[in-house]
Chain A
Amino acid sequence: MANYSTFQGHPLSRPLNCLALAGLCGVLLFAFAWQIHFNEPPCPLCLLQRAAFAMAGVGLLLNIRFGASPMHYGITIISALGGLFAAGRQVLLHIAPGDAGFGGPFLGLHFYTWAFIAFAALIVFCGVVLTFERFTQHYAPLPRAGFAAALVMWLFLLLTAANALSTTLECGFGPCPDDPTGYLWLSPGPGTK
């Protein structure tokens, strides 16, 4: 029988973690919408940044589901640092004068630059919340999180699974080309060798 504990975290902990997870949902949804609308399959580094967003979401989701824990925030921070590293690497790849960058820009910045900003913001978010967070003593599933929180958590899972499917369609069960132009499993082209 599950030992349901009372939620001992800060009253703002769950809403803020929900909000941050909703933000990550927004990031993944927007990236998907852009990918489909402009037919711009993501490059390997872009996919790594999306994977880092998915990993960071695990920590936020654990905070919502089980209560606040230093380990959960650590998961989010380590994941965001990984994403920051991948995004920073891609920024540096296209930093030379005359380089048009990968993909189309949004509000003047490429997606990897936005991703760099988003990962930095996520680390700042964790830092700020950790200044007033109260940690749960027992890590048992908390009582129902409410409709909005459940919706955000399931949407994030759905988006992560959709990314797994999309990446499989784009690259199959192998590596992705550096500059993809199509989907290997949908319309094999020169960019998906």
Chain B
Amino acid sequence: MVMMLPFLTAAIALWLALMGKRGACLWLWLLTLIIFAVWCHQHMTGTLPISL
């Protein structure tokens, strides 16, 4: 799991938006969201300390 990956893809998405490439930016954002969701799954499946 490469933790820096969502920052990299988000930075590329932002760069593409600044360069006027809206479609490519949207796809990169979607890829970032997917990576974000997978990374969330990796880090949020433990037990919370609130069980009775």
List the interface of chain A (C-beta within 8 A of B): 2, 44-45, 47-48, 50-52, 54-55, 57-59, 61-62, 65-66, 71, 75, 78-79, 82, 85-86, 89, 92-93, 95-96, 99, 139, 141, 153-154, 156-157, 160-161, 163-165, 167-168, 170-171, 173-176
- Closest Cβ of chain B to A132, distance in Å, is 23
Q: Are A71 and B26 touching (Cβ within 8 A)?
A: yes
A61-B39 Cα distance, complex, nearest whole Å: 24
| Chain B interface (Cβ < 8 Å from any Cβ of A) | 1-4, 6-8, 10-11, 13-15, 17-18, 20, 22, 25-26, 29, 32-33, 36-37, 39-40, 42-44, 48-50
A165 to B4, CA, bound (A): 8
Given contacts A54-B7, A89-B44, A174-B3, are A61 and B17 in contact (CB under 8 A)? Answer: yes
Find out whether the CB atom of B43 lies under 8 angstroms from the CB atom of A44: yes
Tell whether, in the assembled complex, residue A163 and residue B7 are in contact, meaning their CB atoms are under 8 Å apart.
Answer: yes
- In this complex, what residue of B is CB-closest to A168? B4
Instruction: Report how many A-B pairs have Cβ atoms within 8 Å.
Output: 115
Main secondary structure of the interface of A (DSSP, over half): helix
Partner of B36, one of A48, A65, A95: A48
From DSSP, what is the main secondary structure of chain B's interface residues?
Answer: helix
Q: Which of A51, A82, A154 contacts B7 (CB 8 A)?
A: A51
A78-B7 in contact given A48-B39, A61-B18, A173-B2 (Cβ < 8 Å): no
Provided the pairs A55-B29, A62-B25, A154-B18 are in contact, do residues A176 and B3 lie with their beta carbons within 8 angstroms?
A: yes
Complex alpha-carbon distance, A82 and B52, angstroms: 27
Given known contacts A78-B33, A153-B18, what 7 new A-B pairs fall within 8 Å (CB)? A55-B10, A58-B17, A65-B20, A93-B49, A95-B50, A139-B22, A174-B3
Contact A79 B18 (CB under 8 A): no
A95 — which chain B residues lie within 8 A by C-beta? 49-50
